Amino acid sequence: MTVVSSLIIITLNRPKLLEKTLEGLTRQTKPLGEIIVIDNGPHQETKVVADSFLDRLPIRYVPEPNRGYGRARNRGLSEAHGEVLYFLDDDCVAEPDWAEVLWNLVKSGQAELGGGSRVSGYSGMAARVEYLSTDGPALSPRLAPGNRHHLSTSNLVLLRKVVDRVGRFDETLAMCEDRDFTVRAAENGFRLYFEPKARVTHYAGVESMAVYLRRMRHYGFGTSQFFARRPTESLARFFPRHPLIRLLSLPLLAVAGTGYLVWHNLQNGWDCLLLSPALCMGQLWWQWGGYQAMRAVRATEPKKADVVTDGTKAADLR
């Protein structure tokens, strides 16, 4: 039997969230050809949850012990048989028409990659601040539909031919491997489209400000690592590559980042103004993660003394 569409979900020791995600997929108005659960830290409880849906979903559990977002997504690409590929995170619950809206987007010829919106499934200040810091500026359902430069694998559809031309996900990135992949797709001439009607509810699990701050540091590290590799990105020029300069600029960058978040979240509610002190604290930790990323990048770069003027390593001349 020919599989037309494949959904790839990567997960790591979150069986209860995965169960909620899979339950949402049983209500899709357009059934999926296959659902592949990549367990990126194989755990028996995760397998039990996936197997419990065998009578309701065309699901397949695949253990992948080698950790990493890019590695897990690439395993999913290797396992998938469909010509239309979906990605959904294990902490996101799709609306009943989610698959159908994204399907129509790529099958109509409007785009080769399509992404949808996210709303938060949790209440509380920490969850709200996390949403305004991450999803609000780029994935809010209040944003207008239209072409984009990059999309998120938390809510994504693409045609198989995109992978055939662009290649696979970068397994060396700590995160932002989806941004890197979709940017490369745009550079290869594929059209990326944001359709807010394809909505999912995100259960981010940010229950305290301490968790929020740790998450922001992680985001800052991964995103800065991505910008360091792609200095032509529009925002990359605002983040110094030298660790010391990055550290000295940290307060200024945090204030600027807070202004960016407030401006881009006004359509999500005026509470972003009231929460700006918490957003600024998050930006301080984001920039601290960025500083740590630049130290790591610096440590792996060849020293000037080891390189001659034509770019040849001095060690190669010995």
Q: Binning pLDDT at 50, 70 and 90, where does residue 313 land?
A: very low
112: amino acid identity, one letter: E
State the chain's mean pLDDT as an integer.
92
- Residue 158 · residue 232 · CB < 8 Å: no
**Averaged pLDDT, 238-250:** 94
Domain locations in the chain as residue ranges:
5-128+138-202, 209-300
**Which three-class secondary structure string do you get for the chain?**
CCCCEEEEEEECCCHHHHHHHHHHHCCCCCCCCEEEEEECCCCHHHHHHHHCCCCCCCEEEEECCCCCHHHHHHHHHHHCCCCEEEEECCCEEECCCHHHHHHHHHHCCCCCEEEEEEEECCCCHHHHHHHHHCCHHHHCCCCCCEECCCCCCCEEEEEHHHHHHHCCCCCCCCCCHHHHHHHHHHHCCCCEEEEEEEEEEECCCCCCHHHHHHHHHHHHHHHHHHHHHCCCCCCHHHCCCCHHHHHHCHHHHHHHHHHHHHHHHHHHCCHHHHCHHHHHHHHHHHHHHHHHHHHHHHHHCCCHHHECCCCCEHHHHC
pLDDT tens digits for range 273-306: 999 999 999 999 999 999 999 999 988 876 644 4
Question: Over pLDDT 70: what percentage of the chain?
Answer: 94
pLDDT tens digits for range 14-51: 999 999 999 999 999 999 999 999 999 999 999 999 99
Counting Cα atoms < 13 Å in the Cβ hemisphere of 302 gives 11
CA 38 and chain centroid, separation: 16
What is the rounded CA–CA span in Å between residue 167 and residue 256? 35
What is the rounded CA–CA span in Å between residue 215 and residue 220? 9
pLDDT tens digits for range 178-219: 999 999 999 999 999 999 999 999 998 898 999 999 999 999
Q: Give 87's strand partners.
A: 8, 156
Q: Which of 64, 92, 94, 67 is nearest to 76 (CA)?
A: 64
pLDDT tens digits for range 137-166: 999 999 999 999 999 999 999 999 999 999
Predicted pLDDT of residue 312: 41
- Residue 242 · residue 252 · CB < 8 Å: no
Q: Which residues contact 264 (CB under 8 A, 6 or more apart)?
A: 136, 137
Here the tokens at position 221 are 């590290």
Return the residue matching tokens 């357009």: 30
- Give CATH superfamily name and number for 5-128+138-202: Spore Coat Polysaccharide Biosynthesis Protein SpsA; Chain A (3.90.550.10)
167: left (phi over 0), alpha (psi -120 to 50) or beta: left
